Amino acid sequence: MGTVKKIIRVLLAGGLGGVVNSLALWLFGMLGITPALGFMMQPELSMPWLMPRVVQGALWGLLLLLPFWADAPYRKGLVLSLPLWLVMLFVVFPMKMQAGMFGLSLGPGAPLWALFFTVLWGLTATFFLQKVWRNDVA
């Protein structure tokens, strides 16, 4: 398969992961699940909030091009979620959201919830590649 097709597919998979991640974060907040369990992030579902998250998810999807664990795509998705989680803890929370290191000003559950939502991104992206394109990307 051509390189351009592979890039488009992982961008779409990553973007879809960003959509699922964002909708889950919004829904869990709206239903009061995350606040009840120590994560005080209840975003408003809006295009200005959603679109950057989808674009960033798409760009993170480029990691799916890395040629390892082609025979274990879900493990690959889990592992590739970890760099995204670390960026959340050490860059996004403290610098973009002014939520402190690890996002702890959003509650003690912030690091674990961030891990949950980033893993959701990775599993969604790899599921999409596996089921829609039979994982012929990497």
Domain segments of the chain: what residues? 3-132
- 83-117, pLDDT tens digit by residue? 999 999 999 999 999 999 999 999 999 999 999 99
Between the CA atoms of 4, 74, 85 and 113, what dihedral angle is there, to the nearest 10 degrees?
130
Whole-model pTM? 0.89
Quickly state the pLDDT bin for 38 (edges 50, 70, 90). very high
Find out whether 43 and 92 touch, Cβ atoms under 8 Å: no
